[in-house]
Structure 1
Amino acid sequence: MPRGRRVGIFSREPSESYKWLTDFLLGLSFIKGLLCSKISNSNDWSFREDVNQCKFAILYHSRNRGRLNVTDVTDSLYDDELDYLSSSLGKANVIVIIDDVEDSSDQEKERIQQGQTTITDKATGLFLFSKEDKYTNSNMKEKKLQEIESLIRRSFQLMGLSSHFQTGTMIHKMGRWQNALMFFGLPALVVLYIYGFLYYNFRVITW
């Protein structure tokens, strides 16, 4: 299945834990598909298949699991997964969300990034949400959600720009060939065919 405008949420938590996040993403009309992928130690193949269906990935971790052990620490949970997401989709298309934290300030975010440097190396953003953040309409929550939306939009627009550029280039080249054929006619087409056949099969033409 093509990746298209599909976002994947990858986590060891059940999808009910981040329903607030899926509700937010489903409200963004430019997202054409949302995939929730449950990570476990026995489904590495399934995880990789899910990654290949997405254009943008969110690695989700909840503090309710007990610790902030995403990467680079004892018993970290997502070292391999974050590395695969980043190498498959590109750093610009991966973010990390840590939910249910007691402190969601920028200072706490900086502290986590300093201790778990792989997050900064492999993802384009880290977002912390407390329980209070999730269930209130605070300015901080809205700012973070807007930034997440902006990163996803940027990811999709870059993909669209690339496709548009490739299509335009192809049309331009086809137009040049069409103009040449209209000018020189069928004899030119025959000559070009013979030239191409001899060159690519026998390398007999040296000029």
Structure 2
Amino acid sequence: MARTKAFDPDAALQAALELFWLRGYEATSMADLVEHLGIARASIYATFGSKHELYLKSLERYSRLLDPALIDELSQPGPALPAVQGLVTRFAEEAAGDDLGRGCFITNTAAELAAHDQHAARRVEASWTVLETALTTALTRARAQGELPADRDPRALARMLLVLMQGLRVMGKSGHDPERLRDAARQALELLG
């Protein structure tokens, strides 16, 4: 008879996500994972595969939780520009108040792994594509509704905002002056109006 797992794989994956998010991939050892998850190394391997596979599953979970919320936030009925402005402002405020220095798990992965890990790079790119597409769609709606000048390119603006938002997260994680982040966000938002 097969043995049943003595732990909740979903809870273990969430715990791994939190540890990787806080420490990063390289700074998290298998011993750290065993201790933090409270399960044996063999169980981690049997359930999730290697440390790298567990990291990628954690990253995928993070995206599954985050990406739909961003899409929902930008696709509410009514005026679209306030939703875009609110999202950019929220990113700036989160970055300015990042007391834990965690940043964004996607951005952290881009900085730590994407240049030399094609699997991580694909997951980062997929998440950024979701955000860029949601921003483009919202800005296209804003232009169609007369909230954005007709000569503005929604896709180019979305790309600029994506780069800005990721930059806010990097600078917030590194402890830069919160007003610098807020000023950058305000200047970017002025380009929309």
Q: Which has more strand, going by share of residues?
A: 1
Higher relative contact order (CA 8 A, sep 6+): 2
